[in-house]
Structure 1
Amino acid sequence: MELKNAVAGSLLATCMFSLSTQAATELEVSSWKGAGAEVANFPLIIERFEEKYPDIKVKLNYMARNDMVTSIPARMQAGNPPDVVMVDAEFILHWGGNGQLMPLNDQAYVERVQPHLKRFLGLGDDIYYSMLQVSGMGVYVNDDLFRQAGVESYPNTIDELVGACKAFNDKGIQPLLMAANNGGWTPYVYFLAMALADSDTPNPTRIDDFVSGEKKFADDQAMKNAFEGFRAMINADCFDPMVSAGTDPWSVALTTFQSGRVAMLPQGMWNITPFSNDQLPENFSLHPFPVINGSKPVVMDYNGPGWAIPKDSGQVEAAKKWIDFWMTDENLKEYLTADTSITTLQGGTSGVPSLAAPYEDARTAGQVVTFPVGSIPADLGAEMPHDITSFMLDPDQDYNAILARWDKLVEKELN
């Protein structure tokens, strides 16, 4: 009798466990972060989520971002997408524009996002994703080389930069590296920082006015001044155009800065962690870009990835819980600390160390422009870095012709 009761109890427990397992919701999340070299505290955050929602089991489907370009649209077209997918501005433009994402306007997290970032969360009036982070670009400074050259403060303007370059050169120190190989990325970023900052508190949507045709590149004095700023930097030997043009920004430029062979390097915030881990250079800091149109330096925001829900998601309610869970400061700060980036939440906690305080102070003061990823026509986006690098190598050319060519590309796109 006792054996029968034990067997019956065991069978009942097995059945209850089976029913419990069947009742659990599996939430498939596709992401290019969370594994590999970008673990970014995902295991901790997923564990917390599953503790709060024990009826939801997260299935993290990690893949490279480039692989998502083909695999996710194929699944969307088949009507079997992941329940949640990581997106960025480019994916929002394509998938949101094609009606493949669910609008999230009514979700509570939207009111937690910093007001000036809300316009980047979707298309038109539709909100499609929860932006997790803001990264950005600025200028890394070797603090020891600044002291050696007697440069007591970071230059806020191009005029101040020209003076600092003389001090560096007099001491045999290379002031700046404008690494332009492999796409002309660094000159493009530096130029945009100068050109889009038309005042000490620039309009972060200024680039949209050029893309819409409301403003003309060829008529804009701030754009012209940016070219003049490049000329002034070259004439002051702030950087060697030929050396810079042959230097890869993602490899050689980084090791050049780490080895102490250059005082300043324009690069992304994401390099803080590897520089700190290597303890090279020994003393460094991250600063905003000197300006040509004003007196206060500017940082360049790079709006980061976030979560979206495909319109055919099979677990919409669980997906919304996932997004809302991430968009609370308690959880998001774990990700931001691991990924060394800035919070998108009002009053949220960023994951940026004190060495980037000059960068964050400028951003907080509104001295910020936005890198136009996903917001300019493809032809223009390809032409601008090429033209800016070309001007860097030949600063005597007429930049008005370059600006007029950009206007023609915009007209072509609009027509």
Structure 2
Amino acid sequence: MKWNKVLAMTCAAAMTTGMFATTAFAEETYDHEAIEKEDDITITMMVSGTAYENDFETEQLPALIKEKWPNVTLEVTKLPDDNYYTSLKTKLASGECPDIILTQPMYAGQNSCYALAEAGYLAPLNDLECVQGREDLASVTYEGDIVTATAGVSILGCYYNKDMFAEVGIEGVPQTWDEFLEACQKLQDAGIQPIVMGDKDQYVLQFGLYQLAANEIYSQNPDFDTQLREGEASFTDEGTWDKVLEMYKTLYDKKYIDASKSLGYGASQAITDFIDGKAAMTFDGSFNAAALTAEGAGGAFERGYFPIPGTNGVYTATCLSAGYSIYSESEYVDECKQIIDYWMDGKSDVWKAHLGTGRIIASYGEGAEETPNYELFKPFVELLNEGKGFYWANQAWPAGTETEMEALFSEMVGGQGTEIEDITQGMQDKFEDLLDE
């Protein structure tokens, strides 16, 4: 199963009109020998995250670029997320932005590629060789220009304990919402906690809600978020987010997720409970696969990973990962393009080093199918091949809409009197306020 074929049918399958128009490539190409024409130069790069031993961005990447081009020094700064956002905003405002920056697809986060492209901060990347022929880049394409180069996807799904499923007689994985609820009940009746979540870190609420939204909203109307921005749809529309929220609330009402525990648990505590065998399932992303497949205090058991099914079939919440953009006012735009093209050509030493970190699910290139935990991701790959993949909902919203949803949902399951209609109205009000800013 080839990943380049798979990703051609991912998020872009859902993005057919409006801001999700398909990519238009520029005819002109950049100078592919720009670096060779330079004397010694320094390229600056800034990314978010925490550096670790033999860190890819701060250690491996600069060394490999120096090996390829001895006249290039790549200086990489890696900052915690909040510091990154603050620093990026300051540097953009001062005109002293690094040459290469980390950006998120669509409107996700404070470094969203759409917002930065709209402000004129990002150079078009249509002429990069590594983007040619790819049809999965709609969520990093702004008004016909690719503005972020990315090589992978991120998946949301349900990790589960296969041994516990077998113990209570659950065969295979649920294919409908009713089957999923039946599986939860079987586990609960056997004295097993069906699902553990770390809702104290409210962002984890997105892990389940976006999966249900893929099933219940985007499978029926891929243009829902475009219509939101154009005022033709609303979070309060009947049968959309009210349905998704009600379905997710059911898991708390039936104590398949125990709110009395989850609201006091952080994300890392939920992961620990799952790997320790204290619950049969947890909703989480491909980005946490290493932690969720580690052996815990409960001993070894076989893990699986499946998309939460809906009432209309099974779809997957899968999005393009964060990627790399070039500052439009950089002195070295073509040189940066050379670096990114080499990095993401699917075969270079930089590509192999990046893939070797195990931190990306590659969408193409050599070694992609040897991605760590590939077998876990296979069910999602099969859905993507069928065109049943949709981006994470918050990527299309102004940053802050999702936090309103999380806060209000937490109030509801925490027994503070908040109702479904309060959440959808709150989301709509916040969405409109943020659009007006």
Same fold (TM over 0.5): yes
Deviations 1:201-259 (A, max 9, x none): 5666543433432212222414333233235434544222222222212x211111111
> Is structure 2 residue 50 aligned with structure 1 residue 55?
no
Name 2:248's counterpart in structure 1. 230
* Aligned length, in residue pairs: 390
Name 1:10's counterpart in structure 2. none
TM-score (norm 2): 0.78
Q: 1:328 to 1:205 in 2, by over 3 A?
A: farther
Q: After superposing the two structures, state which structure 1 stretch, 301-310 or 195-204, moved more.
A: 195-204
Q: Is the 8 A contact 2:411 2:418 kept in 1?
A: no
Alpha-carbon distance in structure 1 between the residues aligned to 2:293 and 2:399? 35
**Pairwise mapping of residues 8-407 of structure 1 onto structure 2 (< 5 A)?**
23-32=39-48, 35-36=51-52, 39-40=55-56, 43-89=59-105, 90=109, 91=111, 92-113=113-134, 115=135, 117-183=136-202, 185-198=203-216, 201=219, 206-249=224-267, 251-278=268-295, 282-296=300-314, 298-331=315-348, 332=351, 334-345=353-364, 349=368, 351-353=371-373, 354-394=375-415, 398-407=419-428
Alpha-carbon distance in structure 2 between the residues aligned to 1:330 and 1:108? 13
Q: Is the 8 A contact 2:317 2:392 kept in 1?
A: yes
State the one-letter code of the partner of 1:196. A
Deviations 1:138-196 (A, max 9, x none): 1111112112222121112221112112221222111112331132x233331232133
Alpha-carbon distance in structure 2 between the residues aligned to 1:318 and 1:301? 32
- Structure 2: 5+ residue stretches without partners: 1-35
TM-score (norm 1): 0.81
Q: 1:305 to 1:409 in 2, by over 3 A?
A: closer
Q: Is the 8 A contact 1:139 1:288 kept in 2?
A: yes
Counting helix residues as a fraction of each chain, which structure ranks higher?
Answer: 1
Q: Is the 8 A contact 1:197 1:291 kept in 2?
A: yes
Q: Is the 8 A contact 1:181 1:244 kept in 2?
A: yes
Moved >6 Å (runs of 4+): none
Q: CA deviation at 1:58?
A: 2.5
Identity %: 21
Name 1:13's counterpart in structure 2. none
Q: Is the 8 A contact 1:302 1:370 kept in 2?
A: yes
Q: CA deviation at 1:200?
A: 9.1
Q: Is the 8 A contact 1:205 1:370 kept in 2?
A: no
Q: CA deviation at 1:48?
A: 4.2
- Structure 1: 5+ residue stretches without partners: 1-19
Q: 1:404 to 1:38 in 2, by over 3 A?
A: farther
Alpha-carbon distance in structure 2 between the residues aligned to 1:380 and 1:71? 23
State the one-letter code of the partner of 1:88. Q
Q: CA deviation at 1:44?
A: 4.8
Alpha-carbon distance in structure 1 between the residues aligned to 2:197 and 2:286? 16
Q: Is the 8 A contact 1:190 1:289 kept in 2?
A: no
Q: Is the 8 A contact 1:284 1:355 kept in 2?
A: no
Q: CA deviation at 1:261?
A: 0.2
Alpha-carbon distance in structure 1 between the residues aligned to 2:296 and 2:353? 23
Alpha-carbon distance in structure 2 between the residues aligned to 1:361 and 1:161? 20
- Aligned-partner SS, 1:218: coil
